[in-house]
């Protein structure tokens, strides 16, 4: 199945099984805004818990905060977001559609890559085992011509982006490459303009002189402006970290790929404050710690890679992304940045307050350097859905759709099913749920055949199903079915709690880190 089709299936699965709904659906939706359903919210909460506990429980020197979404507007001037958090936009005069100029050009580069890939695939089919891809790529005239055009475009585009960006040059590239609007099919383009991604609103009534405030585009600034409050009240000593989970808002123009790029999303960010000069050692350490956290979910090491940034923001001295293999390629899920003392120095300058750290060991004051780990909850959610979605052919010829979610993150841990709706089996099943519901999210299901009920639980990723049968009434044992292997074992009801707790708890997952 083409990866594009797999992705479409994952998106519709998310809706059909109560994970993610388009926002305001009965009003035809709201672009790039989504709601999480009954299963989605449980999965999302479990992701947040896994992250929070790995930061705050497992590190004595990391504490959490929850800062407000509204912040003093000067914060966003100091952070650079008011002046530089922009996308270059271009409109098509015929369709009236708005595009990101950089994305139009990147799509054009991808078209050259596709042409090359098609030539290679065609030749591989023609020559079979005798095909030498390397030789073909370096000698085939059509491939070489596509590659030449692609490299020239890439070079010109990089130069334009690095020059501010140079908006006139971006437009000229679009014209020279004869890029057309996908809706109108015309090249009737406007000038390229910079567009700020922050949403703004007004605080206070207009008569009083309302103040323009922003919906935060990242949670990090709430940590920076509180770092000294936390350090002093928590008697924290450098190195220490502050973690936060919260909503962020960006007026993304090209919102694509479902919950990958949203206008309202959630971030889990941790700023780690260190002594200047030690930051690159800490950067290396956090890079490794964070990749370990991802890999512990068990999707396979080949699903992850680092993307080290070659071009760094002027305030950063190292940066990398952790990318996950989605059906549409390796994509950034988390960023790890060594941000020097840029943010704290800017806040010191703009607020006029001394926010230096006093080091009791050396008796000196300094502005700490910061390592940031920043991950999107929704993007993590999407990567987990993509890694977990499987269609399997069964021995009896049927196909089952199963979400092989990491057990600790699954929305429902245990489904309890009476074999039949009579003979006291439903009552026994309820008794089991009543005993276990304090520890796990359990679901009761008595409708349809056992096979259909298993399929329903497979589709939402429930790791275990318990079947109560007539023997249960006398031997107090149940059948425990494993989602992934479909193996069944007979276990005493009295042992269910400990057997399952061990296999599905976040604590067990954290112990593997
Ligand atoms: N404080 C640093 C910061 O915000 P970022 O690379 O802009 O860095 C960090 O964002 C993470 O937030 C990304 O790796 C991604 O997971 C998530 N993210 C950013 N923009 C997003 C969007 N529009 N929709 C969903 N997630 C987003």
Residue 240: predicted pLDDT: 98
Spatial contact of 101 and 174, defined as CB atoms under 8 Å apart: yes
Q: How far apart are CA 500 and CA 478, in angstroms?
A: 13
Q: How far apart are CA 358 and CA 155, in angstroms?
A: 47
pLDDT digit string, tens, across residues 477-504: 999 999 999 999 999 999 999 999 989 9
Residue 312: predicted pLDDT: 83
Predicted confidence (pLDDT) at residue 209 exceeds the cutoff of 80: no
pLDDT digit string, tens, across residues 442-461: 999 999 999 999 999 999 99
Q: How confident is the model at residue 285 (pLDDT cuts 50, 70, 90)?
A: very high
Q: How confident is the model at residue 254 (pLDDT cuts 50, 70, 90)?
A: confident
Q: Which residue has the tokens 């502005």?
A: 367
Average pLDDT over residues 460-468: 98
Residue nearest to atom 15 of ligand 1 (CA): 376
Predicted confidence (pLDDT) at residue 434 exceeds the cutoff of 70: yes
Most confident of 1-5, 263-267, 496-500: 263-267
Q: In terms of pLDDT, which residue wins out, 273 or 204? A: 273
**Burial (Cβ within 10 Å: 0-12, 13-18, ≥19) of residue 129:** exposed
Do the annotations mark residue 374 as ligand-binding? yes
pLDDT digit string, tens, across residues 371-385: 999 999 999 999 999
Predicted confidence (pLDDT) at residue 210 exceeds the cutoff of 90: no
Q: How confident is the model at residue 314 (pLDDT cuts 50, 70, 90)?
A: confident
pLDDT digit string, tens, across residues 29-42: 999 999 999 999 99
Do the annotations mark residue 250 as ligand-binding? yes
Q: What is the pTM of this model?
A: 0.91
Residue 206: predicted pLDDT: 64
pLDDT digit string, tens, across residues 163-193: 888 999 999 999 999 999 999 999 999 999 9
Residue nearest to atom 10 of ligand 1 (CA): 374
Average pLDDT over residues 389-418: 96
Q: Which residues pair with 466 in a beta bridge?
A: 416, 480
* Low-confidence winner among 18-22, 37-41, 95-99 (lowest mean pLDDT): 95-99
> What secondary structure letter does DSSP report for 184?
T
Residue 22: predicted pLDDT: 96
Q: How confident is the model at residue 207 (pLDDT cuts 50, 70, 90)?
A: low
Taking all residues of the chain, what is their mean pLDDT, rounded to a whole number? 95
Predicted confidence (pLDDT) at residue 85 exceeds the cutoff of 70: yes
Do the annotations mark residue 271 as ligand-binding? no
Spatial contact of 162 and 311, defined as CB atoms under 8 Å apart: yes
Q: How confident is the model at residue 141 (pLDDT cuts 50, 70, 90)?
A: very high
Q: How confident is the model at residue 1 (pLDDT cuts 50, 70, 90)?
A: confident
Q: How far apart are CA 368 and CA 241, in angstroms?
A: 11
User: How many angstroms separate the alpha carbon of residue 64 from the centre of ligand 1?
Assistant: 19
Q: In terms of pLDDT, which residue wins out, 207 or 113? A: 113
Residue 122: partners with Cβ closer than 8 Å, 6 or more residues away: none
Residue nearest to atom 14 of ligand 1 (CA): 334
Do the annotations mark residue 332 as ligand-binding? yes
pLDDT digit string, tens, across residues 217-237: 999 999 999 999 999 999 999
Average pLDDT over residues 341-350: 98
pLDDT digit string, tens, across residues 51-74: 999 999 999 999 999 999 999 999
User: How many angstroms separate the alpha carbon of residue 380 from the centre of ligand 1?
Assistant: 11
Residue 205: predicted pLDDT: 72
Best residue for ligand 1 mutational test, from 198, 242, 267, 319 (most atoms within 8 Å of Cβ): 267
Average pLDDT over residues 427-455: 96
User: How many angstroms separate the alpha carbon of residue 202 from the centre of ligand 1?
Assistant: 25
Q: In Å, what is the CA distance from 285 to each residue of 31, 111, 129, 207?
A: 38, 38, 44, 53
Q: How confident is the model at residue 408 (pLDDT cuts 50, 70, 90)?
A: very high
Radius of gyration of the chain (CA): 27
Nearest atom in ligand 1 to 261's CA: 24
Predicted confidence (pLDDT) at residue 208 exceeds the cutoff of 80: no
Spatial contact of 196 and 230, defined as CB atoms under 8 Å apart: no
Q: How far apart are CA 331 and CA 382, in angstroms?
A: 11
- The rounded percent of the chain whose pLDDT value lies above 90 is 91
231 token code pair? 């350090």
């Amino acid at each position: 199945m083409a990866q594009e089709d797999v992705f479409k299936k994952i998106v519709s699965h998310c809706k059909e099984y109560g994970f993610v709904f388009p926002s305001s659906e009965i009003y035809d939706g709201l672009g790039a805004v989504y709601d999480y359903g009954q299963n989605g919210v449980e999965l999302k909460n479990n992701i947040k818990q896994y992250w929070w506990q790995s930061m705050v429980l497992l590190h004595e020197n990391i504490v959490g905060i929850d800062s407000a979404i509204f912040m003093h507007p000067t914060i966003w001037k100091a952070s650079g977001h008011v002046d530089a958090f922009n996308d270059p936009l271009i409109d098509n005069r015929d369709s009236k559609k708005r595009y990101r100029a950089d994305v139009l050009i990147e799509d054009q580069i991808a078209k050259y890559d596709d042409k090359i890939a098609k030539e290679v695939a065609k030749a591989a089919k023609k020559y079979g085992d005798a095909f030498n891809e390397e030789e073909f790529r370096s000698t085939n005239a059509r491939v070489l011509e596509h590659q030449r055009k692609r490299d020239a475009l890439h070079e010109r585009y990089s130069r334009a982006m690095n020059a501010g960006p140079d908006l006139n040059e971006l437009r000229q590239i679009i014209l020279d490459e004869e890029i057309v609007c996908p809706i109108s099919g015309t090249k009737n383009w406007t000038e390229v303009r910079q567009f700020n991604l922050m949403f703004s609103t007004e605080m206070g009534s207009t008569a009083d002189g309302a103040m323009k405030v922003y919906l935060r585009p990242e949670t990090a600034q709430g940590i920076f402006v509180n770092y000294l409050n936390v350090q002093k009240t928590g008697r924290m000593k450098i190195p220490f970290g502050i973690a936060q989970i919260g909503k962020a808002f960006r007026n993304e123009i090209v919102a694509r790929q479902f919950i990958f790029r949203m206008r309202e999303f959630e971030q889990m960010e941790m700023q780690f404050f260190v002594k200047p000069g030690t930051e690159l050692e800490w950067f290396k350490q956090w890079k490794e710690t964070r990749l370990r956290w991802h890999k512990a979910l068990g999707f396979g090491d080949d699903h992850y890679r680092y993307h080290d940034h070659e071009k760094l923001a002027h305030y950063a001295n190292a940066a990398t992304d952790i990318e996950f293999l989605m059906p549409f390629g390796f994509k950034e899920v988390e960023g790890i940045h060594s941000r020097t003392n840029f943010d704290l120095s800017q806040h010191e300058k703009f607020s006029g307050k001394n926010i230096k750290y006093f080091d009791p060991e050396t008796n000196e004051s300094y502005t700490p350097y910061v390592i940031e780990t920043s991950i999107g909850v929704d993007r993590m959610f999407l990567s987990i859905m993509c890694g977990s979605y499987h269609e399997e052919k069964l021995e009896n010829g049927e196909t089952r759709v199963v979400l092989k979610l990491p057990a600790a993150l699954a929305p429902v841990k245990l489904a309890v099913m009476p074999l039949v709706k009579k003979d006291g089996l439903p009552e026994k099943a309820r008794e089991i749920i009543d005993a276990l519901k304090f520890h796990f999210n359990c679901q009761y299901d008595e409708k349809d055949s056992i096979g259909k009920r298993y399929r329903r639980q497979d589709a939402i990723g429930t790791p275990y199903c318990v079947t109560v049968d007539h023997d249960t009434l006398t031997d107090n044992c149940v059948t425990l079915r494993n989602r992934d292997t479909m193996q069944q074992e007979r276990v005493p009801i009295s042992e269910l709690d400990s057997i399952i707790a061990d296999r599905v708890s976040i604590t067990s997952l954290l112990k593997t880190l």
